[in-house]
A and B are shown apart, each in its own frame.
Chain A
Amino acid sequence: MIEQQYIDLFETYREVIDQNATEGLNKERDAAFEAFKKWGFPTSKLEDYKQSDISRAFDADLGLNLRNIPIPVNPYDAFKCDVPHLNAHVFFLINDRYYDKTQPDLPLSNGVFVGSLQTFSEKYPRSFSMYYNKIAAADNGVTAYNTMFAQDGFVVYVPENTVVEKPLQLINILRGGVNLNVNRRILLIAEKNADVKLLICDHTVDDVNFVVTQVTEMVAGENAQVEFYELEENSVKVTRISSLYCLQKEQSKVTAAGITLHNGYTRNDYRFRLSGEYAETHVGGLVISDKEQHTDNFAFLDHAVPHCTSNELFKYVLQEKSTGVFCGRILVEKGAQKTEAYQSNRNLCSSEDAHMYAKPQLEIYADDVKCSHGLTTGQLDEDALFYMQARGIPEEEARMLLMVAFTKDVVDMIHIDILHDRLEYLIDKRFRGELLRCGNCNVCK
């Protein structure tokens, strides 16, 4: 059993884990340990993980930096952001640890906390225990695993009636001399009428295998506005298992978009519970992959109450031998009348060896709702290609333009203008195979 070595590890090092974390984090470990022993890592025997066997990633000799041995890195030197001039507050996580020499360029609004999960748990114990590990599922093995080992992470806490004007940017940097398991935890709390934008960028520095679990818990309070963007530019040796759990209260609006620009093996869960009336959710995903990259996006929209709206748009451009997986489940619970839930999944397979597995699932227990889903997988439009060639644009260039165009409506979900424009540029570079040779960047070499 693959789990056994991690069960042994946890029991053996429990004291070390606790010593290098805080009481608030440690309190959750016992229950998580029991859940992990019960559920284990998800395997392809489970319907929701049919194309992505998570347990296989852990069937390896992975180190865990439980003693918090400092990894010498100055992210300001090592990292030049792919999204310059964003005019954001920038923060770093080195593996699963908050980089405490982060210097925000401007003081944040009153009462706003952005920083280390450890610090938050000690400074704001009430808020911490109100939210930490309360939104994440208790019955998911990999989430339980993350809770067992999580020692630090990143928190954004925006109190009532507070607007954070500038976007916040968290840069996740993976570093290590040996194959490493990283368990990262993120908490984003936007209380009543709060407004905040967070961009998370994933980067890999070292050429070793990383298995990363990331659990993000997000709460959008009444009438709160949250924009949450993730940009993955990891190396092919990274396995990323990300689970986003979001709880929305009435009239809250959340936009979440994940852009997989470069990766190894990725599984992203987007789990939203719309628990207050007139809540609104927009979820987007864009995957550009080649080589043998694997990307699985799993979206679950739970409409628990009436009058909520959700919109999903997931697009994949699969080249070479890459694999894409999409599962979109919409649950409209009994009594959730006047729900509007729309889902769209469009995929391009540009080679015979590229594979797309797509599965829309609608479960509707209310009778006065508008729900739809659309799914297409195909190739580039040959007529459009010829039309462009007939104007003098070479075939390869025309393909490039059409692929970039295909990604446009997902990119348009992003409301930070500079990020939006920069993404268009990065996507263009990605299709030209230039992304990993950008020259002025030490990170994505």
Chain B
Amino acid sequence: MENLLEIKNLHVSVEGKEILKGIDLAIKKGEIHAIMGPNGSGKSTLASVIVGNSRFNVTQGSIFFNGKNLLEMKPEDRAREGIFLSFQYPVEIPGVSMVNFMRAAVNEHRKYRGEDPISASDFLKLMRDKREMLGIDSQLVNRSVNEGFSGGEKKKNEIFQMAMLNPKLSILDETDSGLDIDALRIVATGVNKLHTKDDAVIVITHYQRLLDYIKPDVVHVLYNGKIIKTAGPELALELEENGYESLINNAME
């Protein structure tokens, strides 16, 4: 089967400093990949580059998504091709209601596929269905985007947006950070409900904790801008036991 996402020899720098130093990664439909690693290893940079954050400079390598060259696409087109990032730090947008924000996003996706804008009643129904499916409070969607939301509410809101946009590849960047155990369960359950054999998920995390709920097929360890180990789900458990140190030491040798 063809790869959904294919990253080859990716080098990325920010303000002249090289952060990613040759990443190779291939993900197929239906798979869940976890990317783990200590702070500052480049995990969030990788997520940012995939979605097209212009702060990061790709100096070498390629990213293909569904056979299309991602690096030539604007962030909005990547999103409309089906890539979704659940932000580590979701942005507050005062004055833009969740309803208007989501309606704009949903309609832009439809326009990209050559479809007419969604009707007002269908849209409200879609919002309600997704909200109920994820067990999200109606208050959340009646407010301005993330404004005054707690850490947990922001992350739930990310998953709600993911449900609304129905992506082919979801990247969860440290979605577990700042979550209490109940919020973590809601978020993880939501991700599992949304995941099918036709889409893929990348889970970026420090800890095994989230992976108790979202079971990865493949686990990668990213360190100092390189993937130093790739294995099955047992790797995450090993890391929980022994930490990153021995792995890093091995890689250094």
Contacts and interface: CB of A to CB of B under 8 A. Distances in A.
Interface of A: 381, 383-384, 386-395, 397-398, 401-402, 404-409
Interface of B: 51-54, 74-76, 78-80, 84-85, 87, 90-96, 100-101, 104-105, 108-109, 112, 144, 161, 165
A393 B76 contact: yes
Given A383-B91, A390-B75, A393-B104, A402 B96 contact: yes
A386 B53 contact: yes
Contacts of A406: 95
A386 B75 contact: yes
A392 B112 contact: yes
B161 to A, nearest CB: 6
Interface centre among B54, B84, B101 (most CB of A within 10 A): B101
A389 B95 contact: no
Given A392-B80, A402-B96, A408-B95, A387 B87 contact: yes
Given A386-B53, A391-B101, A402 B76 contact: no
Contact of B93 (A390, A392, A397, A405): A405
B65 to A, nearest CB: 14
Interface centre among B52, B78, B93 (most CB of A within 10 A): B93
A101 to B, nearest CB: 41
Contacts of A383: 91
13 contacts: A386-B54, A390-B79, A391-B105, A392-B105, A393-B105, A394-B74, A394-B76, A395-B76, A401-B100, A402-B96, A405-B93, A405-B96, A408-B94
Contacts of A384: 91-93
Contact of A392 (B53, B76, B91, B100): B76
Contact of B95 (A388, A391, A404): A404
Contacts of A407: 95
A404 to B, nearest CB: 7
A247 B205 CA distance: 62
Contacts of A392: 76, 79-80, 105, 108-109, 112, 165
A-B residue pairs, 10 tightest by C-beta: A405-B95, A392-B79, A389-B75, A408-B95, A387-B91, A391-B105, A405-B96, A392-B108, A392-B80, A389-B76
Contacts of A398: 76
A73 B52 CA distance: 57
A392 B56 CA distance: 19
